[in-house]
Amino acid sequence: MKRILLALTVAALLAGWPAVSSLADGDDQVAISPTTIPQFVDPLPIPTILDGTQGALTLSMCEFKANVLSTGTFAPGVKPETWVWGYIPGTVCPTTTQPTYTGPVIIAQRGVPLEATFINQLGYASTTHVLAYKNSTDQTIHWADPLNKEANACSEELHEGQPPVGECAEHYAGPIPAVVHLHGGDVPPELDGGPDAWFTSDGLYQGHGYYSFPGTGGPGSNMAVYRYPNEQEPAPIWFHDHALGATRLNVYAGLAGGYLITDPTDTSIPANLPGPIPLVIQDRMFDKDGQLYFPAGVPNNPNPDHPFWVPEFTGDTIAVNGHTWPYLNVEPKRYRFLFVNGSNARTYEFFLTNAVTKAKGPALWQIGTDGGYLDFPVKIDPSAPGNQLQKLRMMPGERTDVIVDFAGLAPGTTLFLRNTAKTPFPAGDTVNGNTLGRIMQFRVVAGGGVDTSYNPTLGGALRTPMVRLADPVAGTLAPGVVVQKTRQLTLNEVIENATTVNGIDYEGGPEEVLVNNTLYMGMGADGNIRPDFTPISVGGVTTGYSELPQEGETEVWEIINTTADAHPIHLHLVQFQLINRQNFDVRRFFTAYAEAYGGDIIDAFGPPNDYNIPNADGAVGGNPAVGPFLKGPARPPDANEAGWKDTVTMMPGQVTRIAVRWAPMSLPAITTAADAYYAFSPDGGHGYVWHCHIIDHEDNEMMRPTSVVPNGTAVRTYIKGIDY
Ligand SMILES: [Cu+2]
């Protein structure tokens, strides 16, 4: 296999990636222009809120129709109906049109476990009405693959550089695989809902990492029962599909909901925070029949190897809570919004402006990150001068908890939530201010009265100060933090050159995207698991692990982004803290990197050196030390990133350093590794994963497993097989 890894200078050409919306599609779906979709004609749908403190609940993954497109898109006064997938409370899928696919939002409570039953009722790919799924599955990428096509005839290796033939060139037609991952959740590995834990709608196929609580589910079942411990600090986490190699389509079809962990017993959290309103922001495309459209197939796929995989899906239409360009009436008072970037690949930079005067503001006051409340509110002020925070940047997978004060705005005032982020981020195309540059509208109406809610301008504490693994002002580790291991790991894009096969022009581009240049299964170039990796077998499938952290230990991960784009890197199980970011000389590092492989054409998978032998920087990971190639000072995190994070933006040409402690957030930073452990055992099963949350990347190899070595001195609250 000839594989060419390209440094930033060459890969930067990819920033000129064509807008997929301008290209035709091979499956009879014809995209509509976003300019034909009326904006701000329908109110923001509010997802169903579920009480997660009642011990148990059941959600079915269902296919149904929802009012996604704006009223009047196709005919005056007519609400279009779009086939979608979503999580529906109970065991019965709806037969009537729903207001949204987004949700539900589960309000869980710290210390109150919740048994969640998930039933896959999505049916078959051959008969689904969700054309974005039906027309876009790719049997040549490493994916859930219930019928073992990729594992056999359709493997990329068998048609390298050539388009696949026969059924491998067709879309998948079998029972739909799906699995629910609790993103940001401190959960045992068995019920993490990872990529190999999928199960099909007919119950006949299950991934090798499938799990259901003992006595439930199992072979022949289309359900899984997970008992979430909810031990972690209050946080705006969420749940979404995570089926291997199909997540981009399952989430696109609608499988995402919110999971807010609260803690009424924590009196340090202001009791008068406004009630949260979720804002799940996703870009989408639609066809002339109002159905979800996911461009796949020639000529949108750049390479013949993967006929239907698009390197980064970015849509031309904005949906919030599952509805295109909605509005929300607000009284002149404070509101709290839980922002979720639920998009496949699009980055946003949010700020508010007056729709008429164009004046910027009011400010967004961020009070929480992925993993919980900040210590104090952080003002993100679009009218701030200089290099202060002016916009709220969010990459896919990130959440922010935000207060906006509409006080002082006259009834009748309208505001836009705007977006200026280029795509691919940060150096791609500018967004159209009339479509992707507008997210939703806020309309100020009469009301308000005396506002007794928490006022962020007074700067009151939001919590007992969080445990600090990193010093967010100095951009260093926090005092007293002992690091047991440092890893240096790369982000890589594997590029194919432009080619013509069977008279079809392929423009070339990413063939796959990798973390630490390593395939998900941990194979080297010879197709065997690398000797420096640890083989672990689960359900008869052996995977090569390289990240095997010891529970309780603190690690520094230095992620070296050699690609042209930013990637939101997400670790399962842990919330971590951003230490700093630092530029490095990509060209010179890449020269050293290529030399470590023995040349500039790299015919290898995995890092160039033995993973476990520390490099000159004292870091494991198998890469040349990046230290000699660092440029300029390390920059501390922005104030609104200086909290617990599970997904962090890693910019091109930078090393991003994070402090990862494999233990609960609440333990003091000086806790010795021997005394740090979870209430449950993090050992076992298929472990966890870490990956890019650009879902198109995650779906094509930009993901690696982690297996946590349990702390042998731990005294657990939860017992495997009894509690989970
Ligand atoms: Cu990525």
Using the mean position of ligand 1's atoms as its centre, give its distance from the Cα of residue 334 in Å.
36
Using the mean position of ligand 1's atoms as its centre, give its distance from the Cα of residue 185 in Å.
21
Using the mean position of ligand 1's atoms as its centre, give its distance from the Cα of residue 693 in Å.
6
Using the mean position of ligand 1's atoms as its centre, give its distance from the Cα of residue 227 in Å.
31
Task: For 106, list phi and psi in degrees, rounded to 5.
Answer: -90, 125
Say if residues 315 and 396 touch (Cβ distance below 8 Å).
no
What pLDDT is stored for residue 603 in this prediction? Answer: 66
CA separation for the pair 555, 452 (Å, rounded): 43
Say if residues 92 and 59 touch (Cβ distance below 8 Å).
no
Using the mean position of ligand 1's atoms as its centre, give its distance from the Cα of residue 289 in Å.
32
CA separation for the pair 625, 593 (Å, rounded): 9
Burial tier of 81 (Cβ tally within 10 Å: 0-12, 13-18, 19+): middle
Q: What is the distance, to the nearest Å, from the Cα of residue 422 to the centroid of all Cα atoms in its chain? A: 18
Using the mean position of ligand 1's atoms as its centre, give its distance from the Cα of residue 513 in Å.
7
CA separation for the pair 393, 402 (Å, rounded): 13
Supply the DSSP symbol for 563. S
Using the mean position of ligand 1's atoms as its centre, give its distance from the Cα of residue 325 in Å.
27
Q: Which residue has the tokens 């991934």?
A: 207
Say if residues 536 and 542 touch (Cβ distance below 8 Å).
yes
Supply the DSSP symbol for 147. T
Using the mean position of ligand 1's atoms as its centre, give its distance from the Cα of residue 369 in Å.
20
Q: What is the distance, to the nearest Å, from the Cα of residue 392 to the centroid of all Cα atoms in its chain? A: 17
Using the mean position of ligand 1's atoms as its centre, give its distance from the Cα of residue 698 in Å.
7
Question: Which amino acid, 87?
Answer: Y
Using the mean position of ligand 1's atoms as its centre, give its distance from the Cα of residue 190 in Å.
26
Q: Which two tokens stand for residue 467?
A: 């445990």
Using the mean position of ligand 1's atoms as its centre, give its distance from the Cα of residue 701 in Å.
10
DSSP three-state, residue 594: helix
Using the mean position of ligand 1's atoms as its centre, give its distance from the Cα of residue 646 in Å.
15
What pLDDT is stored for residue 686 in this prediction? Answer: 82
Using the mean position of ligand 1's atoms as its centre, give its distance from the Cα of residue 684 in Å.
27
Using the mean position of ligand 1's atoms as its centre, give its distance from the Cα of residue 8 in Å.
14
What pLDDT is stored for residue 601 in this prediction? Answer: 55
pTM assigned to the model:
0.95
Element (H, E) at 590: helix 586-597
Mean pLDDT by 10 residues, the chain (724 residues): 38 34 55 97 98 98 98 98 98 98 98 98 98 95 92 81 88 97 97 97 97 96 98 98 98 98 97 97 98 87 90 96 98 98 98 97 98 98 87 98 97 98 96 97 95 97 98 97 98 90 87 94 92 95 97 98 97 98 96 86 83 98 98 97 98 98 97 97 92 97 97 95 91
Question: Which amino acid, 207?
Answer: G
Using the mean position of ligand 1's atoms as its centre, give its distance from the Cα of residue 492 in Å.
9
Bond from prior residue into 278 cis (ω within 30 degrees of 0): no
Within a 10 A sphere around the Cβ of 388, how many other Cβ atoms?
A: 12
Using the mean position of ligand 1's atoms as its centre, give its distance from the Cα of residue 423 in Å.
13
Using the mean position of ligand 1's atoms as its centre, give its distance from the Cα of residue 286 in Å.
24
What pLDDT is stored for residue 509 in this prediction? Answer: 85
Using the mean position of ligand 1's atoms as its centre, give its distance from the Cα of residue 567 in Å.
4
Using the mean position of ligand 1's atoms as its centre, give its distance from the Cα of residue 702 in Å.
7
Q: Which two tokens stand for residue 665?
A: 């957030």
Using the mean position of ligand 1's atoms as its centre, give its distance from the Cα of residue 368 in Å.
24
Q: Which residue has the tokens 């957030």?
A: 665
What pLDDT is stored for residue 234 in this prediction? Answer: 98
